[in-house]
Amino acid sequence: MSKKKLGLNTICAHVGEIKDEQFKGAVSPIYLSSSYEFIDVDVKRYPRYFNTPNQEYLAKKIAALERKETAMIFGSGMAAISHMFLAFLKSGDHIVVQNTLYGGTSNFIREEFPKLKIEFTFTDGYSVADFKAAIQPNTKLIHIETPSNPLLTITDIKAIADLANEKAIVTSIDNTFASPINQNPADFGIDLIMHSATKYFGGHSDICAGAVAGSKEHMDRIWNVSKNLGGSLSDFTVWMLERSMKTMGLRVKKQTKNAGKIAKWLEKNKTIKKVNYPGLKSHPEHKLAKSQMHGYGAMLSFELANGIDSEKFQKALKLIKASMSLAGIESTVLSPAKTSHSLLSQEDRDKIGISDGLIRFSVGIESIKDLKEDIQQALNKQ
Ligand SMILES: *Cc1c(COP(=O)(O)O)cnc(C)c1O
């Protein structure tokens, strides 16, 4: 069976299964050995070498979903990002990073790169011209995030890949928000595709993990650094992640459908000032999103009308939880200014448009009518 011909849900359900030869069980066994034979073996296996059976096989599913040769699984999304960056950047190198970006990635760059003398430029905006203007002679990596957290801006993936290619710069994308179900950046020429697997891969708010997919050559570079940094994931959790990923296609498609409906409904609501969702015609990059995404994703954000206190609103929700993180099957909301982007200065937040009243909404699989009712009753109380 060629992987290319398999449908999305078949990849989710089956690629990278470990056959239980001994007992013929239906699911992959867990291999918890941290010690493997080293004489007369093809692979010297060790958990921190990212090559225990469960790690190696689940990586095949991730690579197939992202249409890349190979992949690695990490202990968190930030482990994936930091190991990836450190594999392609050394002292004196420069990275161009999109300004609208996951807060943790931004913190990692601002706090750690000066110590390592790695230079960085955050773009002014997210247009191709903004990226072009930020490139330096020593630029080795361009990192983008689309749709971005929490404003759901859309970056032109192909244009950035082409720009970088021209100058032999490696490209990476944080594909967490879209998930491989809604977006495959490999089709547009992006080199490295990373995920916080804590989000849609896990999907049940009970796993912390990360992943990177790329060519064998690029992933070898990452492996060479990662084996020293040691950010691998426990095989228990790798196994949990495999189980979760079997339903990723189903979950994300339902969540995406719900998000589209909620976004349209919120946009009509007079107590909502603005809705950010790439699937809306009012979204400035709606057409671009349409051209590079299979679905518009299940994340959106919105601003309440002046005078409504966002914390009071979130407290009034009964079904939808005000909680950190995202992408679980349950709907959650949060205030980026108070959580993911709290370490940025007020000035930096204002610059990228993260207001105190902005609410990020991770849409779950619940019945749409119940979600709408919950939001409406919370708005009615304001
Ligand atoms: C959560 C998240 C991360 C970081 O992942 P962790 O698993 O929390 O380390 C990176 N990028 C995006 C877009 C995220 O949402």
Active site annotation includes 199: yes
Report the separation in Å between the CA atom of 81 and the middle of ligand 1, taken as the mean of its atom positions: 9
> Rounded mean pLDDT of 8-30?
97
pLDDT at position 201? 98
Write the class of the CATH domain 250-380.
alpha beta
> Where in the chain do CATH 3.40.640.10 domains reside?
3-245
pLDDT at position 4? 58
Active site annotation includes 48: yes
Report the separation in Å between the CA atom of 7 and the middle of ligand 1, taken as the mean of its atom positions: 27
Catalytic residue among 45, 68, 140, 199: 199
Question: Closest ligand 1 atom to the C-alpha of 176?
Answer: 13
- Cα–Cα dist 267/2, whole Å: 44
What angle is formed at CA 226 by the lines to CA 222 and CA 230, rounded to 5 degrees? 165
Active site annotation includes 174: yes
pLDDT at position 259? 98
Beta strands 70-74 and 94-97 are unpaired
Each residue's pLDDT tens digit, 256-309: 999 999 999 999 999 999 999 999 999 999 999 999 999 999 999 999 988 889
Each residue's pLDDT tens digit, 145-155: 999 988 999 99
Question: Closest ligand 1 atom to the C-alpha of 209?
Answer: 7
> Where in the chain do CATH 3.90.1150.10 domains reside?
250-380
Residue 104: CB atoms within 10 Å: 18
Q: Is the pLDDT of residue 350 over 90?
A: no
pLDDT at position 306? 84
Question: Closest ligand 1 atom to the C-alpha of 148?
Answer: 13
What is the token pair recorded at 273? 């000032």
- Tell me what percent of the residues of the chain surpass a pLDDT of 90: 88
Report the separation in Å between the CA atom of 324 and the middle of ligand 1, taken as the mean of its atom positions: 11
Report the separation in Å between the CA atom of 197 and the middle of ligand 1, taken as the mean of its atom positions: 8
Correct CATH for 3-245 of 1.10.3720.10, 3.30.2130.10, 1.10.1060.10, 3.40.640.10: 3.40.640.10
Report the separation in Å between the CA atom of 196 and the middle of ligand 1, taken as the mean of its atom positions: 4
Active site annotation includes 221: no
Question: Closest ligand 1 atom to the C-alpha of 197?
Answer: 7
Give the pocket of ligand 1 (CB within 6 Å): 76-78, 102, 104-105, 149, 174, 176-177, 196, 198-199, 208, 210
Catalytic residue among 3, 48, 132, 264: 48
